[in-house]
Structure 1
Amino acid sequence: MTFLKLKIMLIIGGIGFLAFLGLLAFVAIFISDEAGDFDSSMDLGSPNDWQNVSLSKDVLAHQPMVEKYANEYGISDYVPILLAIIAVESGGNAEDVMQSSESLGLPPNTLDTEASIKQGTKYLANLLQSADTKGVDDSTVLQAYNYGGAFIDYVAGRGNSYTFDLAESFAKERSGGKKVSYSNPIAIEKNGGWRYGYGNMFYLDLLQPYLRETPSFDDDTFRLVMEEALKYEGFPYVFGGAHPDTSFDCSGLIQWIFREAGINLPRTAQEQYEATEHIPLSEAKPGDLVFFHSTYNTANYITHNGIYVGNNQMFHAGNPIGYADLTSSYWQEHLVGAGRIKN
């Protein structure tokens, strides 16, 4: 196996330690829900296909050290995974931020922050190497970060591919069938609020809110548009803004980045809607625009727009500027449809 696989099922965990997941929502002038429904039957793809979302400042503060040790142990592509582990294990607010003490046979919370990151990164690298040798997928590795390396052998003897049923049966065997109550929303939805009393069989689900598939920029125009757009990721929303010096509102951002790619669009979201060929969202391709109504009080019908990037995601001037999941209830409620820029 080359560099193990990971496709939309990303989620990750921490060595025999329970973690509570807080789903973050951006609420500002526009509300977006970054995390859509998770399909745990899907493959995960290459680690290069993923990037972080919704990480707190406390987690991001550890990124330089994570990058240092990921490079040292040869898993630099897994930095988004490692940061997601920190988000799940501690939210960045603990000494043992990766909860990696137990991988050394030590009591929980024994290691300081740097030692935790170093050991957690080394441990993940070792699991990846073991999985490569035994021919199992990266989803198994992510669950093994929580369960321990024995889960890799368990999956290797049962078809070599992670399934939730295998994660559940492993926990059941290790716990002797003992069930414990668990208040995490995932457990409540899936199992009525319980799990087996070994590790966390929902470990993959816990990571998903902190990871997003990176859109591929195959079309030259779309690539140019997104290269310009990503310069402003994280900028604040500014009503009436239409320039990097002031930041942007929704249509100001779109007008600017398309102009940089050699395409002239009118200024407002309503005018941009009128300048496009209207199509249903189901027919949208990366580079098309997505339009919404009634996101704030105005005389215009169209009040917000973004750039469709594929996989039901858009890039837009939210607050801050960045990606949003079009399957969220907020965007579905206000969706008008997509628009293709006319030649």
Structure 2
Amino acid sequence: MSKIKTRDVKKDIKSLNKSPQTINRMQSLYDKSRRYQKEFDTPTEQSSDEYATNHLSELGNDLASQGKQGAETLLRRASDHRQRVKSRKDAQTIDFQEYSKKGAKQRHAKDQFRRSKVKHGKLDSRFHNMGIGSESNHNKSPLSKAQKRRFKVVRKSTVKTSAHAAKTAYKTKQATQQAAKQSARAVKAAAKTVTEVAKKIAQVAYAGAKLAVAAIKSLVSLLIAGGWVSVIVILIICLFGSALYVFGDSSSNSYTPISAEVEAYTPIIRIYAKNHGIPDYTELIKAVMMQESGGKGNDPMQASESGFNTKYPRTPNGITDPEYSIDIGIQNLASCLSSAGVTNPVDMDHIRLALQGYNFGNGYISWAQKNHGGYSVANAAEFSDMMATKNGWTGYGDKQYVAHVLRYYPYGHINQGIGNTVITQVALSQLGNAGGQPFWSWYGFNGRVEWCACFVSWCADQGGYIESGIIPKFAGCVNGANWFKDRGQWQERSYTPSPGDIIFFDWQGDGVTDHVGIVEKCENGMVYTVEGNNNNSVRQATYSVGSGIIYGYGVPKY
């Protein structure tokens, strides 16, 4: 760019034409603008507001250096303009000193771009109309066409710099939004991956674990019924059940599937479960119905004697409408669950209390909580005997109702280890029973026999293990031992047993078993047992591991 020629200026002349000097300043400003633009294209921590601040500050310094009179004129006009801006409240102050002190603030990209244009538009007008002369002469000198062109170049470059800054800020905002969208997509993809993994595990469970299959089916039922609160908990149980199967835990095989008749009632069960506030307990309701009737008859929930029955006689099988039976039975179970403090479908300690209350009546729940702190096989037997004596009956309810129901409940076996503990609890509940009449008469004998095997079989039946094929029904010790041997479930006397194992004895040492009991536990090299017909009573006994009077062990696949 060629340099504009100007006439010589003598220092002793007070009145000067400052237009050429203004053009030179604009040329300098243009060079600085180009430099600012290059700096902006290079990564920097300065914002677009800081660029504008520096730019205007330098411009003010250049103008102030022109002399006292020119500075006073500039400041006076700046002050006037500041007052106009303050009154209108729609423009930005051009007081360069105050602007520098305030510092830069981030603004919206579009607003920044608009204000930049306004500022530079004001400067256009200022320099175009500015005439800086002596105190007595304020005549303004118009700019030539060449000067105007140069001024436009400077203005365009300055505005372009601010526009570039605004555009960059806008692109940064877009990039941030795009990054947020990508993060959201990543989270969604991760969730999808977790779902696929769960499906794969479920497929493994379907391949062979009956319990996991039932649990997954119940999970689907919960989803359909809207039982979202328990879904995550039960999903964990399902996956845990699958893992047990994969790694060879046979306890999952103790689950007994419900019948087609009970399954057919599922839609009705869901409706009344929701009506009575227990939509998450559909599978438990099915298990109760399975134990009560197998889904057969006009009173499938055996709810006729319930206090909630107001339509039919409160006598056994008094209800003749299956749907009404389901309604009343679910209402009764909901009351028991509430009284027992059940929190979710896998809260097994409280569910056991609620189930026994469903069979005995709600009064058992408060009695067990007050006297024993909750449910146990022993206190269920105690309550049954107490109520039978009080009413002059031979029996009261089902002492083993909990075990009978839970064999049909998919969540009742995995997390509580019910398989090898129920039979020992049942056996312990009979301690002190003398003569064995309940056990040999249950088996089918009309008079007393050596009843140790009858006792073991009775305990197994109370836990549902005979029906599920886990333990045989046997009255002779030899037959019982051979049953386990034939299935590869036999261990010799040196074996360290587990609770629930069936222990066989050989009193004579002749290689023939002649007594049987149930292992309660094994600790510190000692085997603790519960035995029927031990001196004609149910008693506990203790033996050393590997004792010579031990014949061997049947090991049920709980």
Question: TM-score range, shorter-chain basis?
Answer: 0.3 to 0.5
Report the structure, 1 or 2, having the larger strand content. Answer: 1
Normalised TM-score (structure 1): 0.42
Indicate the structure (1 or 2) with the bigger Cα radius of gyration.
Answer: 2
The two structures have a TM-score, normalised by structure 2, of 0.26
